[in-house]
Amino acid sequence: MGGVTNWQKPRWLTLSALGVGAANYQCHDYMVSSLRAVHRLLPSPKSQSHRASMDTSIEETKETETFTLRKIGQGVCGTVWAASTGPAFKREDGGPTRSLRNDFEMHQRVLQSFQESIQLRPQVQIPACYDFIKSTDHTWWSVNQRNFPLGYTPCNIIISQRIPPFPETTRQLLISNYCPTKMTPQILKSEPDKDCLVRPYLGRRRTQRPHSTSRFTAFSLRNFPLHLDQMQSLGVTTSEINQYARMMAETLAMMHWISGIDGNDIEFVLAPSSANGFKMKSTIFGEHSMWVLDFDLCRRMKMDSEGVVQAAAAFWRNDLYYPRPEKDPSLWSVFRERYIQVSEACGSEPEAAERRRILSRHFIDLVEQEGKLRKEMENQKSSSVY
């Protein structure tokens, strides 16, 4: 397998490991500004030499400068916190079956393998991943626990680049189109709803009518689910939707055949671009990018048929980001073509390339077979109702 070899998790990613000087992974400016803003919310003193080499002004931070972090997200793995500027802090305070250590190591692996394959020009953005803080890191927690609200005890933490939220214009667009009228004033003034990221569900169309009502009314701009039909009704062009599908396909192909992981339960979001990242221009979302995140359930996969079965199962376990072969054949064709194209371009050895060509097509075949089976089951279920 071409890609990551002899990989070890560094205590603190160096600038070269984060890809400074390479498209999509230049983050020196971001890291410096983040570290200035976050002040004392930094990894423990054993990492000070790395930070000092980046910006000597960091050492001038006053002991009295401190602030409280704000929760900007929550999932099964834990909660995510940030200040108004600077990095994000992901706490392992969620379900006991989730591992932040695995999240960190898989995140690092993906970053490194994408950097080593920059010739493929991956367009998806991956947040920089700065450090892993253990719950037992007493030096770090003695300084930084005060920045979390009372009652939040030390736990494992990942420090990473914060994905920037959409601006007010995008929030207002989503609110005006999808927020229940009676909730609009509340959402417009809501501080949590300023943390607006969009989940692009290319594999799902809404099952409810656009203006249907429910006893249980809820609305949030955090990780806002935007289905395929909603994109189309907003005016997102077919070309832009196809580009989203290609970006998902190339990301999954590189994770499979370079990172060597199954991509299980990863998330894609649309959000503004970082300073040096790939940018899409849209009349709906403005200048933005697709980001990939959350690697805690990813697992290593073998480069054989067994690994392909594992990867195909992960495809169907994930949320409906990817196009579905049985739902939208034309969009699936875009995804399929790009996945195979990138898979075959991973690595340079002819023998390995031929092996990937066979395995990548096997992956596509398994996904299509499962899609056909699911469609048949849906048809049988529908016919039994009548």
Question: Which of 233, 252, 232 lies closest to 242 in space, CA to CA?
Answer: 232
pLDDT at 187: 95
Determine which of 60-74, 116-130, 371-385 has the lowest per-residue pLDDT on average.
60-74
The pLDDT assigned to 386 comes to 56
Q: Residue 79 has what pLDDT? A: 94
Of residues 278 and 145, the one with the higher pLDDT is 145
Tell me if 205 sits within 8 A of 241, measured CB to CB.
no
pLDDT band at 277 (very low <50, low <70, confident <90, very high): confident
pLDDT at 194: 95
Contacts of 204 (CB under 8 A, 6+ apart): 227, 228, 320, 327
pLDDT beyond 60 at 215: no
Question: 35 pLDDT exceeds 70?
Answer: no
Cα dist from 314 to 47, 256, 308, whole Å: 36, 11, 10
The predicted structure's pLDDT at residue 208: 58
Residue 168: pLDDT band with limits 50, 70, 90: very high
For the ranges 11-20, 35-44, 174-183, the maximum mean pLDDT occurs at 174-183
Say if strands 224-227 and 157-160 run parallel, antiparallel, or are unpaired.
Answer: unpaired
Mean pLDDT in the chain?
83
Is the pLDDT at 276 greater than 90, yes or no?
A: no
Query: pLDDT for 279-336, tens place per residue?
Result: 999 989 999 999 999 999 999 999 999 999 999 999 999 999 999 999 999 999 999 9
pLDDT tens for residues 128-156?
999 999 999 999 999 999 999 988 999 99
pLDDT at 51: 41
Q: Which residue has the higher pLDDT, 277 or 330?
A: 330
Residues 328-362: pLDDT tens digits? Answer: 999 999 999 999 999 999 877 777 788 889 999 99
Strand pairing of 79-82 and 70-74?
antiparallel
Q: Compute the distance between CA of residue 222 and CA of residue 193 in angstroms, rounded to an integer.
A: 6
Cα distances from 18 to residues 22, 105, 106, in angstroms, run 9, 14, 14
More confident residue, 227 or 10: 227
Banded model confidence at residue 260, pLDDT cuts 50, 70, 90: very high
pLDDT, residue 84, reads 87
Cα(289)–Cα(243) distance, integer angstroms:
11
pLDDT reported for residue 58: 32
CA distances from 7 to 103, 259, 362, 381 (A): 15, 10, 27, 48
Please indicate whether residue 57 or residue 271 has the higher confidence score (pLDDT): 271
Q: Which residue has the higher pLDDT, 207 or 303?
A: 303
Per-residue model confidence (pLDDT) at position 67: 55
Average pLDDT of the residues in 44-71: 47
pLDDT at 59: 35
Q: Is residue 248 pLDDT above 70, yes or no?
A: yes
Return the percentage of the chain with pLDDT > 90, whole number: 66
Range with the lowest mean pLDDT among 44-48, 85-89, 139-143, 310-314?
44-48
Angle at the Cα of 197 from the Cα atoms of 192 and 202, rounded to 5 degrees: 140
